[in-house]
Amino acid sequence: MNCELQNILDKTASDCRKMTRNGKQATYIPELAKTDPGLFSLSATTVDGATFSAGDSGALFSMQSIAKIISLSFSLEMFGYDYVFARVGMEPCSEPFNSIMKLEMTSSIPLNPFINSGAIVIAGIMAERFGRGAIDHLLEFAWKMAGRKRRLCVNERVFMSENSTADRNRALAYFMHSIGTLSAVDKSLILYFKLCSIYADTNDLSVMGGTLANAGLNPITGERVLSRETACTVTGLMSVCGLYDESGEFAVKVGVPAKSGVSGGIICAVPGKMGLAVFSPLLDAGGNSVAGMETLSRLSREIKLRGM
């Protein structure tokens, strides 16, 4: 199986890398526009701890929205389900990830922790409790999920770039402050930008996905990083709202819990089987990696990710 899986990854990577000419890079965070658009990497980590990679594995990129998995998992472990879901909802959202409209029209709390407003609230919970030390707790937790020798860190250039072009996120945060949903605006935003700027490669992300797929047990180190309940909650949310407005299409074409980010990464947790991660910076109109979506659709069929 292992040799076969490596062959499938190699073949899929070589086919899908040709699609790295389609789509558009995210430029609203200027630093993201500097990434080589031709990069492509693909990694898998099975729940029994075997890892595989193809393409430009080792290419680092900022996690962006994928890091919302880390902050949600950590908050659930630290503060518990009831506390977290009193502050954010768990329903999919049909508006763009940075929309203010739904928040104003329907509810005083963000619809879910994967849209920006929800992730800023989660960052706020952490900033309230840990102050400036919050990012170190998150990096430590991310490193345990990734189970690699190299420590994960914030890319300061991406952080500065986000921080200086964040009018939309500031608008969301100030709006939430005005209705009593968020207390410390600046501290929450700074933590949120740092979180999005964590640098990782697809190897790191596939182990993180493997940890979720393995009910919270890191398949490489054997360490229990999060509880089975947290893994179920996070993967449940990934299934319904992990791919922005294309979550439905992704559920049909790929059918596994996943989370994407605007830098072009997508992480998957295939319960009881493996973690997968793909990276290619050019995005479709929904903000998801064009080559990444195609790669995961093909792999879903080739290796029967849905188990049927």
User: Could you list the active site residues?
Assistant: 65, 68, 192, 244, 262
Q: Build a one-symbol-per-residue string for 149-168: x at contacts with ligand GLU by CB under 6 A, - elsewhere.
A: -------------x------
Q: Does 250 bind ligand GLU (CB under 6 A)?
A: no
Between 64 and 188, whose beta carbon lies closer to ligand GLU? 64
Check binding of 261 to ligand GLU (CB under 6 A). yes
Pick the binder of ligand GLU from 84, 231, 262, 296 (CB under 6 A).
262
Is the Cβ–Cβ distance between 210 and 275 less than 8 Å? yes
Nearest to 26 by CA among 255, 286, 259, 307: 286
Report residue 194 CA to chain centroid gap.
14
Near ligand GLU in 189-208, by CB under 6 A: 196
Number of other CB atoms surrounding residue 104 within 10 Å:
11
Question: To the nearest whole angstrom, how small is the minimum distance from the Cβ of residue 64 to ligand GLU?
Answer: 3
Return the number of the residue (65 or 218) whose C-beta is nearest ligand GLU: 65
- State CA 241 to chain mean position distance: 11
Does 98 participate in binding ligand GLU (rule CB under 6 A)?
yes
188 binds ligand GLU (CB under 6 A): no
User: Which residue lies nearer to ligand GLU by CB, 82 or 167?
Assistant: 167
Quick check: 64 binds ligand GLU (CB under 6 A)? yes
Nearer to ligand GLU, 54 or 70 (CB): 70
- For 223-268, give the secondary structure using H, E and C: CECCCHHHHHHHHHHHHHHCCHHHHHHHHHHCCCCEEECCCCEEEE
User: Distance between CA 96 and CA 116 in Å, rounded?
Assistant: 9
Maximum separation of any 2 CA atoms in the chain, in Å: 56
282: left (phi over 0), alpha (psi -120 to 50) or beta: beta
Of the two residues 32 and 215, which places its CB atom closer to ligand GLU in the complex?
32
Judged by the rule CB under 6 A, the positions of this chain that interact with ligand GLU are: 64-65, 97-98, 116, 162, 169, 196, 261-262
